[in-house]
Amino acid sequence: MPRTYDRQCPHCSRRATWPDTPTYPFCSERCRLIDLGAWASEGYRIPGEPVPEEVEGFGYLDSEADVEADWDERG
């Protein structure tokens, strides 16, 4: 007898079943994405996950400001 699962979608509380619902425990792909979006916007980060874009961006802005300051001093 195959195992099946049955629970409410965490987002809209509709019934989701496994294996009938590929997005289980979410009732649909839409609810799954909405929930993932909420998870991300709450500011969670995977521990140890680097954020290279932000770090590089700040570093770049910093050095550019230094260069401009040098030019000002030299007149």
Residue ranges that bind Zn ion, judged by CB under 5 A: 9, 11-12, 14, 27, 31
Closer residue to Zn ion, CB minimum distance, 8 or 63: 8
Closer residue to Zn ion, CB minimum distance, 9 or 65: 9
What is the β-pairing status of strands 5-8 and 15-18?
antiparallel
| β-bridge mates for residue 15, sequence order | 8
| β-bridge mates for residue 8, sequence order | 15
- Least Å distance, CB 67 to Zn ion, is 52
- Least Å distance, CB 33 to Zn ion, is 11
Closer residue to Zn ion, CB minimum distance, 30 or 60: 30
Give the side-chain half-sphere CA count within 13 A for 34.
10
For residue 6, the SS3 value is strand
